[in-house]
Amino acid sequence: FNYFIINIKSSIYYLLITNLLIIIGSQIPIYIFIYYGRIIIQILINTKLLINNNKSYFYNFSFNFNNKKQNKITTLTNVIIILGFLTTLSLNAMQTNSLLTYIGEGVPKNKILQRSQALSRSSCRYFAGINNILTNILIIHLIPHKDTWLYQDFKNIYFCSLLIVNSNIRNISNNTAITKKLEIFRIKNNKLINICNNKIISIYYLYNSLLYGITGILYSNIIRIELYISGNKIIISENQIFYNYSFTYHGIIMIFFLLMPYIYSTIGNFNLVLIIGSTELLYDNMNSLSILILQISYISLLLSIHSEFGGATAWTIYPPLSTSNIILSPISIDLLLYTLIISGLSTLLTSINFLTTLYHNGNIGITNYNISLIIITIIITTELLIITLPLLSIILFMLLWDIHYNTIYFDPLYIGDPIFYQHIFWFFGHPEVYIIIIPGFGIISHVFILISIKIIFAIKSMLLSLILISIIGTLVWSHHIYTIGLEADTKSYFTGLTIIISLPTSTKVFNWLITLINISIYNYSSINYSLLIINFIFTFTFGGTTGVILGNTAIDVVLHDTYYVVAHFHFILSLGAIISIITYLFSLIERLFGTYIFIHESSNIYSLINFYLSYIGIIITFSIIHTLGFQLMVRRISDFPDIFNSWNYQSSIGSQFTLLAISTLVLFMKSLNT
């Protein structure tokens, strides 16, 4: 278990360094000599990591391998790293030759500088992309013992990225011995497509989502560091597009690669089969295919990040910005659309698998009133996904056709209508909020049952409220687009229906509070879970209250493009969903790893520090953003008037509290082992 903690820390440090390289390579106005200097620094840093292999945090092989296997994997890893360095160096050499050609042809200095910055961004993202793929590969060292069933199958999944880019690596290298080793590795790991056990796949989803979430959190901290005071800090004025694609990729990674795989796929795979009394999911090969498709989707996202300009369209990808070949790079937009289409296909296959398994493999004695609430929420989420995901895929394909095949679905110069895209997108986008948070409701209810040894108060009203939330949630999408000029009757309809959705939500919160009041907190486990549950109820209720305010048309038109909206949906998703994720992980950690993290150890000082730091950081960060929203500070812009300096500085301090809380959690888990 100590190896697990060490390698979690190493992965975090490694992603921090690679993302710092992205910032450095993207923001510093680079002339030729600085350009060469950055390349040399990168090579020296990573060469030192190779030389100090046993001392390095990043490539510390913690398994109890025999020497033959350890040498083989060490050699393979170092070969891949060296190939990545050589590829990056050759790419930089070609780019430098193009710059020298520009100088020889008498191109003006400002044009050379712009080209140098563009090439620097491209090469640094390519270099960081190789490092991110290597991090995905090397994360297999999280499993401490080679004799466990988990390790034997788990080590294969993270070589998926390597197998996909294997052909590119072989084209770069002329060394037949290296090619032969890679081919042997490919043959020995064909077992990857045969992993169909739902519990193993659920753990794959868990590690994927946690790893992807680290990248999303780093993007959010880049945003808060830039906004801690007015003016340009880490993002220069000539490269404001970096800020735009920072919040774009932050949103996409956190929604589609952290919350969706964890709160839906992980929990569904692990709990559905156990609770309904089945032996396996109905289509187990389809389940394996779903996670492989998710890997391909993330690789497509990495390629979009590492393209020359990135997809700076926000996660909504509105036309005509996304369909313009002049403003942004069409390659990055294409890869971004492929990412969403492929990840949507993965989730859709999982949804179909869950629904068919429930109806065909379920136990006869299970009804809607004696089944666990966590399964009810998975069923509701599955039906929402099956209804909305095909529409999202269709609308994204229409965007691709507009970009490449001269269709005019969203082109206002002809008969196209970009408002049509917004309606269809938010018909998916608003149910997506409930797709993410409804399984969180099931988690909280499940943990309530664990700590109270009793059924949730008024269980039938809880079921009814969940069903009503899902139904009404699909009918209120246009409250996201009040500002486009809807008719007065339409606005009145959506305003009334948006406020009505607070009734089943408040019923559910009432059920939880009554259950919490009547339970007997009889051990440290219940105390710790109660802290998490109270935190969840407070943050979700506060975020829902601000949502009721935004449901009013007159108020939303004023606050729509301000940070008040950002604070609202972060209280719902970033806080409510993440707290439910942590609660579920702590409740299941003994089954996954055979050890306790948060349970029975409330006397440990790190657990209390983690809870209070995270809670204080959350409240400081997003409560202040509410204030900024009321003062009409515009979102999606990296600068602001000096009058907002104090509020933004305090909000950025709160975000650093949250990062510190994550560090104390790692220390806490390590201290438990000692």
Using a 10 angstrom Cβ sphere, with 0-12 exposed, 13-18 middle and 19 or more buried, the burial of residue 40 is exposed
pLDDT of amino acid 158: 34
pLDDT of amino acid 342: 93
pLDDT of amino acid 439: 92
Is the pLDDT assigned to residue 222 strictly greater than 90? no
pLDDT of amino acid 574: 77
> Between these two residues, 496 and 191, which has the higher pLDDT value?
496
pLDDT of amino acid 148: 38
> Between these two residues, 236 and 262, which has the higher pLDDT value?
262
Torsion of CA 188, 190, 191, 195, to 10 degrees: 150
Closest by CA to 375, choosing from 474, 512, 264, 260, is 264
Question: What value does the mean pLDDT of the chain take?
Answer: 72
Place of tokens 């820390």: 9
Is the pLDDT assigned to residue 670 strictly greater than 50? yes
Average pLDDT over residues 44-57: 43
- Residue count (the chain): 674
pLDDT of amino acid 476: 92
Task: Give the pLDDT band (50/70/90) at residue 50.
Answer: very low
Residue 352: CB atoms within 10 A of its CB come to 17
Task: Give the pLDDT band (50/70/90) at residue 371.
Answer: low
Task: Give the pLDDT band (50/70/90) at residue 452.
Answer: confident
Beta bridge partners of 634: 562
Do 261 and 579 form a contact (C-beta atoms < 8 A)?
A: no
* Distance set, CA 199 to CA 149, 298, 591 (Å): 11, 22, 11
pLDDT of amino acid 394: 93
pLDDT of amino acid 435: 92
pLDDT of amino acid 120: 47
The CA-based diameter of the chain, rounded to the nearest angstrom, is 82
- What is the residue-wise DSSP string for 33-53? HHHHHHHHHHHHHHHHHHHTT
Dist CA 378 CA 387 (whole Å): 14
Task: Give the pLDDT band (50/70/90) at residue 391.
Answer: very high
Dist CA 74 CA 59 (whole Å): 9
pLDDT in tens, 284-330: 888 888 988 998 899 899 888 887 777 888 899 998 888 877 666 78
Average pLDDT over residues 160-169: 33
Mean pLDDT: which of 37-41, 116-120, 453-457, 587-591 is highest?
453-457
pLDDT of amino acid 58: 33
- Specify the range with the lowest mean pLDDT, choosing from 278-282, 491-495, 510-514, 660-664: 660-664
Is the pLDDT assigned to residue 557 strictly greater than 60? yes
Q: What is the CATH number of domain 197-416?
A: 1.20.210.10
Q: Is 587 helix (H, G, I), strand (E, B) or coil?
A: helix
Is the pLDDT assigned to residue 627 strictly greater than 80? yes
Is the pLDDT assigned to residue 469 strictly greater than 80? yes
pLDDT in tens, 493-524: 999 999 999 899 999 999 888 887 776 655 54
pLDDT of amino acid 8: 43
> Between these two residues, 281 and 275, which has the higher pLDDT value?
281
Task: Give the pLDDT band (50/70/90) at residue 34.
Answer: very low
Q: Where are the domains of the chain?
A: 1-194, 197-416
The set of long-range contacts for 163-168, using a CB threshold of 8 Å and a minimum separation of 24, is 163/189, 163/192, 164/295, 164/296, 164/299, 165/133, 165/299
- What is the residue-wise DSSP string for 218-240? HHHHHHHHHTSSSS-SSS-GGGT
pLDDT of amino acid 146: 40
Task: Give the pLDDT band (50/70/90) at residue 118.
Answer: low
pLDDT of amino acid 115: 56
Is the pLDDT assigned to residue 643 strictly greater than 70? yes
Is the pLDDT assigned to residue 19 strictly greater than 80? no
* Whole-number percent of the chain with pLDDT over 90: 19
Is the pLDDT assigned to residue 107 strictly greater than 90? no
Task: Give the pLDDT band (50/70/90) at residue 660.
Answer: confident
Do 497 and 472 form a contact (C-beta atoms < 8 A)?
A: yes
> Between these two residues, 146 and 635, which has the higher pLDDT value?
635
